[in-house]
Amino acid sequence: MRLKTIDIGGLAAPNNVFLAPLAGYTNAVFREMCLRLGAGLTFTEMVSAKGLCYNSKNTEELLYITPSYGGIKAVQLFGGDPEFMERAACSEHIAPFDLIDINMGCPVPKIFNNGEGSALLADMPRAAALIRACKKSGKRVSVKFRTGLSAGKIVAADFAKMCEDSGADMITVHGRTRDKIYAGEVDFGAIAGAKAAVGIPVIANGGVFCDEDAERLMNETGADGVMVARGAMYAPWIFAELTGGGPPDRRALVLKQLEDTAALFGERFALVFMRKMAAFYTKGKKGSSALRERLFACDGLQKLRQMIEEAEF
């Protein structure tokens, strides 16, 4: 993986290997863990602009940043109304953040049918208005989007150009169409088209599970960097692999994640969340199927600690 710094409107990301915003996963503890492992930039889970404007407690909890977090602070907002996006971007909730990423790629029906996420691929004027609205905050703004709604509606290059013209400081292109959700081959050509259309940094997203995947994505698209999504859910130590860091003690890493998650979010959340993460981390290992059954039957943190200590990572 060819490492380099990324200039995001004057913000310098130390390298070009980023953690994707992942709903239900990229909480404050997970983000800090990935940063320490080598990620050049991490993002919050996607946050509703309307939720912030209405002071939703659940929405605000997604914005928590650990005091020891030392990287660029990046939040991902979603919404379809420029007024709400501006109010959210300029609010005290977003004040601690250096970078606002706008979600224009989420394929989930609830988001799509509300005119948000990937629905914006079919409404460039409104997408442009959302970018301009967030720029009024004075913060750097990036946009994450898909190549199009379907194979016959590829808009990556035109959408990329619109983002740049509207003030975006960086874009991330997920190389799949909305209808593919997270399956199917990554469209290298569409990402390359977006890269050729703009002068701002372009990050390629899709199918990165190892160093070879990252190299191929960079070589085939000409992108400035890669964003890791599901690959980080299954193996957060991928960031050490891609950035040349020494191999971490995986068991110690997972145990620390468990302790930090419990300290920050409480034992009940930690139990439910870390059972799920431990199942991801051990997938494909010897005895993983039996372990998964035991994990989801586990009813206490001490039992979970013991399972992690005995598991193969």
Q: How is the chain split into domains, by residue range? A: 6-243, 250-310
Q: What is the predicted pLDDT for the residue at 57?
A: 82
6-243 classified as CATH 3.30.300.250: no
Q: What is the predicted pLDDT for the residue at 95?
A: 97
* pTM for this prediction: 0.96
Q: What is the predicted pLDDT for the residue at 287?
A: 86
**79, 48 Cβ separation under 8 angstroms:** yes
Q: What is the predicted pLDDT for the residue at 128?
A: 98
Burial tier of 112 (Cβ tally within 10 Å: 0-12, 13-18, 19+): middle
Q: What is the predicted pLDDT for the residue at 278?
A: 96
Among this protein's residues, is 106 annotated catalytic?
yes
Burial tier of 214 (Cβ tally within 10 Å: 0-12, 13-18, 19+): buried
Q: Residue 58 and residue 60: Cα distance in Å, rounded?
A: 6
**203, 43 Cβ separation under 8 angstroms:** no
Q: What is the mean pLDDT of each run of 10 residues along the chain (313 residues)?
A: 96 98 96 98 97 87 94 98 98 97 97 96 98 98 97 95 98 96 92 98 97 97 98 97 94 98 96 97 91 94 96 92
Q: Residue 7 and residue 311: Cα distance in Å, rounded?
A: 40
Phi, psi dihedral angles at 253 (to 5 degrees): -65, -45
3-state secondary structure of 102: strand
250-310 classified as CATH 1.10.1200: yes
Catalytic residue among 34, 106, 134, 298: 106
